[in-house]
Structure 1
Amino acid sequence: MPPIRGGSCAPPRRIMSRLGDPVRDGQDRSGASIDPRTTGERSRPARFTNRPAYHFSDRSRLMSRQVVSTHDAPESPLYSQAVKAGNTVYVAGTIGVDVTTGGFAGPTVQEQARQSLLNCQAILRAAGAELGDAVMVHTLLAHSEDADALGEVFEEFFPDVRPPRCVSKIGVDRPGLLISIAMVAVTD
């Protein structure tokens, strides 16, 4: 994995002038104070180094990733149900299929949403998390007009703290599929 580039959280360093003298913001090379309001000068832009903010010398320091799988939620041969990286769980788009019957939970978006959230709950539990640990929920709908009907269902599953949520349109046209829910959860 290439090192991450960009700024760092370290305190600002003194910048050296071309002559090797330390230059501080608000001072000229002689050390006299410069007030940009009176001199008409602009303040100097921040300087960025080409050094990585973090550099891992060996792969042992990298965050471990664990594939999460459970038979209590629909499985796909194309992707993992979830991946746990550190204390964060990323749940893939989960549809409202009841694993006991193998079919959709019902013909309405509310029924499929309930089942989809139950499936997400099963996946999160397999990863050692709960629905209450969710920090982001991404809802994908076949019909955008169904978005208003989901409020009641989400209140059942998230009675206290409602995580941020976004709604998009499903890109796959599958007969009977009305909703898919993906989420991110963080455990303590």
Structure 2
Amino acid sequence: MKKVIYSEQAPPAIGPYSQAILAGNTLYVSGQIALDIAPLNDVAAETKKVLENLGHILAAAEMNYENVVKASIFLKNMDDFATVNEVYGSFFTTNPPARETVQVAKLPRDVNVEISVIAVK
């Protein structure tokens, strides 16, 4: 059984997908971007907003950052890794999840960072 999870506090999906899907006790959160801030010239602010959006979606599933077991970070420029890592670390202060960080050629809406997570109750 799967259940669509949606938070009005996070930006709506920009395509044919759900913000998140709860399957059993596992939550799969689609990649989030900072649609709701502009201009996109401050990677720290953009990363903070992305993580806040993820938090809203987690809360809609009655979870929080401590439930996250896996994160995937996609960067437009790997030179932003240290900045993104610092902001990310402020949200995952104890027992951080497994993760990967990769540089990609382009992200939706020309953002600098996109993050998706998997969480478990």
Decide which of 109, 115, 139 is 2:43's aligned counterpart.
109
Q: Is the 8 A contact 1:104 1:176 kept in 2?
A: no
Look up the match of 1:74: 11
Report Cα offsets for 1:32-51 as digits up to 9, x if no partner: xxxxxxxxxxxxxxxxxxxx
Q: 1:171 to 1:75 in 2, by over 3 A?
A: farther
Q: Percent identity, aligned pairs only?
A: 29
Q: Is the 8 A contact 1:141 1:169 kept in 2?
A: yes
Look up the match of 1:166: 100
As a proportion of its length, which structure holds more strand?
2
3-state SS of 1:129 partner: coil
Look up the match of 1:184: 118
Look up the match of 1:120: 54
3-state SS of 1:183 partner: strand
TM-score, normalised via structure 2 length: 0.89
Which is bigger in relative contact order (C-alpha 8 A, separation at least 6)?
Answer: 2
Task: Please report the RMSD computed on the Cα atoms of aligned residues, expressed in angstroms.
Answer: 1.7
Q: Which has the larger radius of gyration?
A: 1
**Matches of 1:80 and 1:179 in 2, distance apart?**
19
Q: Which runs of 5+ in 2 are unaligned?
A: none
Q: How far apart are residue 176 of structure 1 and its match?
A: 4.5
3-state SS of 2:89 partner: helix
Look up the match of 1:89: 27
Q: How far apart are residue 169 of structure 1 and its match?
A: 2.5
Q: How far apart are residue 106 of structure 1 and its match?
A: 4.6
Q: 1:79 to 1:171 in 2, by over 3 A?
A: farther
